[in-house]
Amino acid sequence: MKYNLELIKNKRKIIGFSTVLILLSLLGILYSTFNTSFKKPINLGMDFVGGNELRIERVCEAECSDFTPDSVLEKLREISKNKNVLNNIKLQFQNNSKLISIRTPYLSIEESNNLINNLDSIIGPLNYDSKDSRLIGPKLGKRLLTNCVTSLLVSLFAISLYITIRFDKKYALFALLALFHDLVIVFGIFSWLGIILSVEVNSLFAVSLLTIAGYSVNDTVVIFDRIRENLKSKKAGYNETIQLSVNESFRRTTFTSITTLFPLLSIILFGSYSLFWFSLSLSLGIIVGSYSSILLAPSLLLKD
């Protein structure tokens, strides 16, 4: 079965489409920086700003009695010794009121323990075996953020270096352009998710960006290799050879992306909730990455 992607005809459309995506992403990043409560290019989660996150299940006979978050908060205010703890608290019920999840600014272990005890007296008994609690100090958060940004920069530098050594200038430039295109779009999508759904990013998001970088370049390398190989044999004109090469490696690139997406889909469907957004950003990165490897990067190589 032969594929026939009309790359030469659609060059403008492809580049236009990518430009629109990038502009939309930049818009999200700018909007997020200037027009939101968090004033950051992306909604930084607890890992980076510090805080306390608690999830715990209630022990219920059959169905869990209903509470509204507001009524619980009110009672908490009544009985809490340290009212400070209750500033900026976010409280949510999930799973038919069985699971309660709470976010607050950073608390000491002692304060968090008191909070749990107070909760127990209001909506208890609680199942401590199901507890999932994270406390991150603001200092550590800052450190994690610097750490993640450094990792990202170092690894982008390493990848760029590798590509420049391996290809000649033009190929390297376009492969890197495609890579940054992928990263900016995934980042932009999460900026928008932060603005609209207040989705937060944590250190796993940074990890996903790094993995996307490694993976997306990989695909572009394979296609560029094919192009170089075919150009040497000079079967057809320059533009036609590029189009032919893309069509030849189309199956291979989509298939490898599909087989990588399957496990990610399994994590999204069946895995632990803490891996949900991580798998989602990886999936998005792989989809955008395949698009840019198959369509965008080779289109950039085409001559007018």
CB of 194 to another protein, least distance (A): 21
Backbone angles phi, psi at 9, to 5 degrees: -65, -40
- Span near another protein by CB under 8 A; candidates 16-24, 68-76, 189-197, 267-275: 267-275
Please tell me whether residue 113 binds another protein under the rule CB under 8 A: yes
In the set 40, 256, 287, 302, which binds another protein (CB under 8 A)? 256
Q: Which is nearer to another protein, 34 or 270 (CB)?
A: 270
Bridge pairing between strands 126-136 and 51-58: antiparallel
Please tell me whether residue 238 binds another protein under the rule CB under 8 A: no
In the set 23, 59, 79, 236, which binds another protein (CB under 8 A)? 79
Tokens representing residue 10 in the block: 């659609």
Q: Which is nearer to another protein, 73 or 207 (CB)?
A: 207
- Whether residue 273 contacts residue 202, with contact meaning beta carbons closer than 8 Å, is answered with no
Taking residue 119's Cβ as centre, other Cβ atoms within 10 Å add up to 20
Please tell me whether residue 82 binds another protein under the rule CB under 8 A: yes
- Whether residue 134 contacts residue 203, with contact meaning beta carbons closer than 8 Å, is answered with no
Please tell me whether residue 217 binds another protein under the rule CB under 8 A: yes
Taking residue 78's Cβ as centre, other Cβ atoms within 10 Å add up to 9
- Span near another protein by CB under 8 A; candidates 3-11, 68-76, 88-96, 142-150: 142-150
Q: Which is nearer to another protein, 93 or 224 (CB)?
A: 224
Please tell me whether residue 10 binds another protein under the rule CB under 8 A: no
Q: Which is nearer to another protein, 78 or 168 (CB)?
A: 78
Taking residue 144's Cβ as centre, other Cβ atoms within 10 Å add up to 20
Positions 182 through 211 that interact with another protein (CB under 8 A): 203-204, 206-207, 210-211
In the set 98, 225, 247, 287, which binds another protein (CB under 8 A)? 225
Please tell me whether residue 264 binds another protein under the rule CB under 8 A: yes
Please tell me whether residue 247 binds another protein under the rule CB under 8 A: no
CB of 154 to another protein, least distance (A): 5
